[in-house]
């Protein structure tokens, strides 16, 4: 069989190959090497989750540990991107965006437009996202809609290792600022991943499962959950199509419309909070462009409008589960929830 890699290792390989291909690619973030300036082992951590482990020895000088100072180093990555580097800045948790958001949305996102098309800012900001680790309200959010709201940013949230490698390579080669969100729960999941470098173009959703009865539109961790729900529903005679958006800006609405025109039913699944979310965005677009194809109301399966709770009893309720997704599908099929 072809070689399999975890999403974590796919990120490592993408960074490794791109740093090797292009010496202007630099990777910076907190503890991405680990142990810098400490008496013990160098490369002690390789990132908080071990994603960049081992890269410092292959690319000395292209990985830079930063102080716990997100505004400064995210801003530095953005500034360096306008000065000839292709930085990949790692933010340990997307929740930390709050302390450096100005650099992202007022600086990186605006330069090209605000300077009349004369600036390019080829920076990638990687961050982990998502709930399920009992990490509570400030280390578990999705926040994807915060970024899709801002023109000038591209937003990527892959669901598997193959897409992750190709989309990260595309992000690094892309000349716009890219927010690259990695769901912690997907890190250890493996898929076939080619050893060679490849770039997946932005703006093409993937059809994770073909089906004819109802369309689920989702991304990130909710893709495997939706596939799991689809298997349950298959036994009930409901044939579900699952669309993995992969990139949220640009967003591939054409694939969504085509599918809804076939199935006539739409369930938007989003781990983000529901208001002004990816789910509501897709639902609105379908209402606007494909209303005539709908056989019934659109369903949304999302987190509640609440922060992520700590207690396992509550967090398990917070995250949309395969069961809740299946219920959402049954709802659109005009059946009562089980």
d(CA 58, CA 19): 9
d(CA 63, CA 154): 23
CB of 295 to other proteins, least distance (A): 24
When the beta carbons of 102 and 335 are compared against other proteins, the nearer one is 102
String of contacts with other proteins for each residue 51-90, x by CB under 8 A = ----------x--x-xx-x-xxxxxxxxxxxxxxx-x---
Helix axes 278-289 and 253-263, enclosed angle (nearest 10): 60
Q: Running DSSP on this structure, what letter comes out for residue 68?
A: S
Q: Give the footprint of other proteins on residues 216-255 (CB under 8 A).
A: 250, 254-255
**In whole angstroms, what separates CA 224 from the centre of its chain?**
14
Residue 120 is a binding residue for other proteins (CB under 8 A): yes
Q: Running DSSP on this structure, what letter comes out for residue 309?
A: P
When the beta carbons of 27 and 319 are compared against other proteins, the nearer one is 27
Considering only the stretches 190-198, 215-223, 287-295, 326-334, report the one whose residues sit in contact with other proteins under the rule CB under 8 A: 190-198
Considering only the stretches 116-124, 129-137, 272-280, 312-320, report the one whose residues sit in contact with other proteins under the rule CB under 8 A: 116-124
When the beta carbons of 53 and 165 are compared against other proteins, the nearer one is 165
- CA nearest neighbour of 36 among 14, 52, 19: 52
When the beta carbons of 201 and 304 are compared against other proteins, the nearer one is 201
CB 99 within 8 A of CB 138: no
Task: Please report, in angstroms and rounded to a whole number, the separation of the first and last CA atoms in the chain.
Answer: 40
When the beta carbons of 64 and 269 are compared against other proteins, the nearer one is 64
String of contacts with other proteins for each residue 256-295, x by CB under 8 A = ----------------------------------------
Q: Give the Cβ contact number of residue 56 at 10 Å.
A: 22
**Is residue 15 classed exposed, middle or buried when 0-12, 13-18 and 19+ CB atoms within 10 A define those classes?**
buried
How many alpha carbons lie under 13 Å from residue 212 in its C-beta half-sphere? 1
Residue 176 is a binding residue for other proteins (CB under 8 A): yes
The residues carrying an active-site annotation are 139
Residue 307 is a binding residue for other proteins (CB under 8 A): no
When the beta carbons of 32 and 85 are compared against other proteins, the nearer one is 85
CB of 250 to other proteins, least distance (A): 5
**In whole angstroms, what separates CA 182 from the centre of its chain?**
5
Which of 42, 188, 210, 236 is close enough to bind other proteins by CB under 8 A?
Answer: 210
String of contacts with other proteins for each residue 86-115, x by CB under 8 A = -x--------------xx--xx--xxxxxx
Q: Give the Cβ contact number of residue 207 at 10 Å.
A: 14
Give the dihedral of Cα atoms 17, 18, 22, 28; nearest 10 deg. -120
Binding site for other proteins (CB under 8 A): 1-2, 24, 26, 61, 64, 66-67, 69, 71-85, 87, 102-103, 106-107, 110-120, 151-152, 154, 162, 166, 174-176, 194, 196-201, 203-204, 206-207, 210, 250, 254-255
């Amino acid at each position: 069989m072809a070689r399999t890699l975890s999403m974590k290792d796919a990120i490592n390989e993408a960074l490794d190959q791109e740093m090797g291909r292009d010496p202007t690619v630099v990777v910076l973030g907190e503890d991405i090497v680990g142990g810098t300036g400490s008496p013990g082992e160098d490369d002690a951590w390789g990132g908080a989750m071990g994603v960049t482990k081992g890269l410092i020895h292959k690319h000395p000088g292209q990985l830079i540990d930063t102080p716990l100072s997100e505004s400064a180093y995210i801003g530095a990555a953005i500034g360096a991107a306008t000065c000839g580097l292709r930085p990949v800045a790692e933010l340990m948790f997307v929740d930390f965006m709050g302390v450096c958001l100005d650099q992202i949305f007022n600086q990186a996102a605006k330069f090209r437009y605000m300077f009349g098309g004369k600036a390019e800012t080829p920076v990638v900001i990687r961050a982990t996202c998502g709930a399920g680790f009992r990490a509570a309200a400030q280390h578990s959010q999705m926040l994807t809609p915060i970024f899709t709201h801002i023109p000038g940013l591209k937003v990527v949230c892959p669901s598997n290792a193959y897409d992750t490698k190709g989309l990260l390579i595309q992000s690094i080669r892309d000349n716009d600022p890219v927010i690259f969100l990695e769901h912690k729960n997907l890190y250890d999941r493996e898929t076939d991943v080619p050893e060679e470098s490849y770039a997946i173009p932005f703006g093409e959703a993937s059809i994770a499962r073909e089906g004819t009865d109802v369309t689920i539109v989702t991304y990130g961790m909710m893709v495997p959950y939706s596939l799991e729900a689809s298997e349950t529903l298959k036994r009930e005679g409901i044939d579900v199509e699952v669309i993995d958006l992969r990139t949220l800006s640009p967003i591939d609405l054409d694939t969504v419309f085509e599918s809804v025109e076939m199935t006539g039913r739409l369930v938007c699944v989003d781990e983000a909070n529901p208001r002004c979310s990816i789910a509501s965005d897709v639902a609105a677009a379908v209402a606007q462009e494909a209303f005539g194809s709908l056989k019934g109301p659109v369903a949304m399966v999302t987190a509640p409008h609440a922060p992520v709770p700590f207690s396992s009893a509550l967090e398990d309720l917070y995250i949309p589960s395969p069961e809740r997704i299946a219920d959402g599908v049954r709802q659109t099929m005009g059946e009562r929830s089980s």
